[in-house]
Amino acid sequence: MKFWMTGLFGAMVAGGVWTVLWHVIISILAVLMWGIPVSLQIASTLIAGMLAGAFVVSKYPRKGYTYNLLGLTITAFLILIFTFGQPFKFSTEMIDWKAHLLLFLHVGFSWWCITSVVKDIKIGQNQKYLIEKFYLNLLWGLGLIIFLLIVFVPFYIMIVTSLKSQQSLLLNPLDLSVDFRAGYSKLFGSYIELFTEYNFLTYLLNSFLVSISTVAITLIFSIPGAYAVSRLRFPGRKWFSGSILTIYLIPAIVLVIPLYALFSQIGLRNSLLGLCVVYPATTIPVALYMLQGYFSSLPRELDDAALIDGLSRAQIITKIALPLSMPAIASVSLYVFMIAWNEFLFAFMFLDDVNLFTLSRGIVSLDSSEVPRQHLMAGSVVATIPVLIIFLWFERYLVSGLTTGSVKG
């Protein structure tokens, strides 16, 4: 008999893990909501949770009001006993209802998670299949919550900080609620200031200009190229389609010094045109690769028929290949737009003139001790929103673009 295959052990692990996790999450929420110091009691909640888990697995059948009510009460008691009546150790006196609410949430969430994982595990020895499924379910739930949290927190901080005033940030950095009563002009104060005093409208327009030009140039260069590689026979075709992607692996940092030197000499450095030359050169290889794959999947007979009907190759590209490959072109465009929009290194190196800054470059200039943090975050939100809108709107296209081409990071 292996101890880890018994339902008792499994349920105790699940109970301990879930109770501690919710204890931590709810304590943090309490600190954030009310700004009251709470100290964690990991060991106590762990023991309480393990016993609660043992209770869950000992009873059968595991449904019905009485079972759940009994379980909830027992869990609450266990937590109360092991934390010596103070499930959330506040360092200051605390109004009762808040403590009750926290306990209620803690017990409820823990109980729900434990029961939905334990389900129909036997208290004794279980089949290998069932017990493995049980542990994986436990991991699944934990993983999902942790992933959601770690992705959510930085973005939430970004948004909330951008909506704060300098005073409230200094007064209580832990207050992460958004005060909607303050009025829009105060709420969006940082944004208004960015656009009126920090030139952000220009940055935004520059970013759009550079990104859209990059998309256009990339498509103009890569569509004919991709067509040639996928349809026309010429010596070196295999070599070309194979090696074009390696261009993509050349680090930008290796190119930046010579390009800086060269562009300084020919006057392209401090200009948006310079960026519009560099960005397509880095995106064309992957665009060509993606489009080439798509063109190859179109039936060749279409081209042959069109040739017999007297169309030229140029006409075939514009009248047959292009309309048929709109989905691929959409995903390439979005992908290239995103790369150009997010690009930082070259914008940072090349642009000196405030009127030419793109958003990336403009936000870096906000990173100083003289500019308040909420402006920096507001700038970050401004830069993030267009990309996220595009991403959410066209997720289907973008995901296919990401998986075929995004070796770049």
Partner 1 sequence: MENRSSQINAGALVRRERRLAYKLLLPTFLLVLGVVLFPLFANFWISFKPVLLADLRSPELSIREKVLSASETKSDIVRLEYRYRNPSKKYNLTEVKFDDRVPDGASVQEVDPRCKIKVDLMPRVISCELGALEPKARGRVAVTLAFYEPVLARQLLLKTKPEASFQTKNVLTSFEFTLSNYFKLFSSAEFWNVLKITIYYTVFGTAGALLMGLFAAQIMRSVFPGRAIVRGFLLFPYVAPVIAVAFSWVVLFDPFSGVINHLLIEMGEIKQPINFFGQRTVEVELFGHKFNLPLALSMVILFEIWRYFPLSFLFILARMQSIPKDVYEAAEMDGASPLQQFWFLSLPNIVGILAILFLLRFIWTFNKFDDIFLLTGGNAGTRTLTVNVYEQAFAVSNLGAGAAVASVVFAILLSVSGIFIYFLPKDHG
Interface positions, 235-254, toward partner 1 (CB under 8 A): 235, 237, 240, 247, 249-254
Tokens of 121: 């595990």
Where in 86-115 is the site for partner 1 (CB under 8 A)? 91
One residue of 51, 102, 114, 284 binding partner 1 per CB under 8 A: 284
> Do the Cβ atoms of 41 and 23 come closer than 8 Å?
yes
Is position 313 an interface residue for partner 1 (rule: CB under 8 A)?
Answer: yes
In terms of Cβ atoms closer than 10 Å to its own Cβ (0-12, 13-18, 19+), residue 324 is middle
Q: In the complex with partner 1, which residue's Cβ is closer, 16 or 280? A: 280
- The span of 47-55, 100-108, 182-190, 396-404 binding partner 1 (CB under 8 A) equals 396-404
Q: Could you tell me how far CA 40 lies from the centroid of its own chain?
A: 29
Q: Beta partners for 38?
A: 90
Q: How far is the CB of 39 from partner 1 (least distance, A)?
A: 4
Q: Among 3, 5, 17, which residue's Cα sits nearest to residue 49?
A: 17
Number of residues forming the site for partner 1 (CB under 8 A): 103
Is position 395 an interface residue for partner 1 (rule: CB under 8 A)?
Answer: yes
> Do the Cβ atoms of 363 and 380 come closer than 8 Å?
yes
Where in 356-375 is the site for partner 1 (CB under 8 A)? 359-360, 363-364, 367, 373
Amino acid letter for position 179? D
One residue of 95, 149, 174, 305 binding partner 1 per CB under 8 A: 174
> Do the Cβ atoms of 332 and 291 come closer than 8 Å?
yes
Q: In the complex with partner 1, which residue's Cβ is closer, 44 or 52? A: 44
Is position 2 an interface residue for partner 1 (rule: CB under 8 A)?
Answer: no
- The span of 15-23, 75-83, 225-233, 293-301 binding partner 1 (CB under 8 A) equals 225-233
User: For residue 146, how many other CB atoms are within 10 A of its CB?
Assistant: 11
Handedness of CA 64, 70, 74, 80 (dihedral sign): positive
Q: Give the chain's radius of gyration (CA, Å).
A: 29
> Do the Cβ atoms of 405 and 289 come closer than 8 Å?
yes
Is position 170 an interface residue for partner 1 (rule: CB under 8 A)?
Answer: yes
Is position 392 an interface residue for partner 1 (rule: CB under 8 A)?
Answer: yes
Distances (CA, A) of 283 to 94, 223, 292, 337, 340: 58, 13, 14, 10, 9
Helix (H, G, I), strand (E, B) or coil at 39: strand
Is position 306 an interface residue for partner 1 (rule: CB under 8 A)?
Answer: no
Give the integer Cα–Cα distance in Å for 117 and 130: 11
Q: In the complex with partner 1, which residue's Cβ is closer, 52 or 217? A: 217
How many residues in total does the chain contain?
409
One residue of 8, 11, 20, 38 binding partner 1 per CB under 8 A: 38
Q: How far is the CB of 245 from partner 1 (least distance, A)?
A: 10
Tokens of 376: 């920096």
Is position 216 an interface residue for partner 1 (rule: CB under 8 A)?
Answer: no
One residue of 338, 356, 397, 405 binding partner 1 per CB under 8 A: 338
Q: In the complex with partner 1, which residue's Cβ is closer, 72 or 345? A: 345
One residue of 101, 178, 261, 354 binding partner 1 per CB under 8 A: 261
One residue of 2, 37, 81, 101 binding partner 1 per CB under 8 A: 37
Q: How far is the CB of 383 from partner 1 (least distance, A)?
A: 5
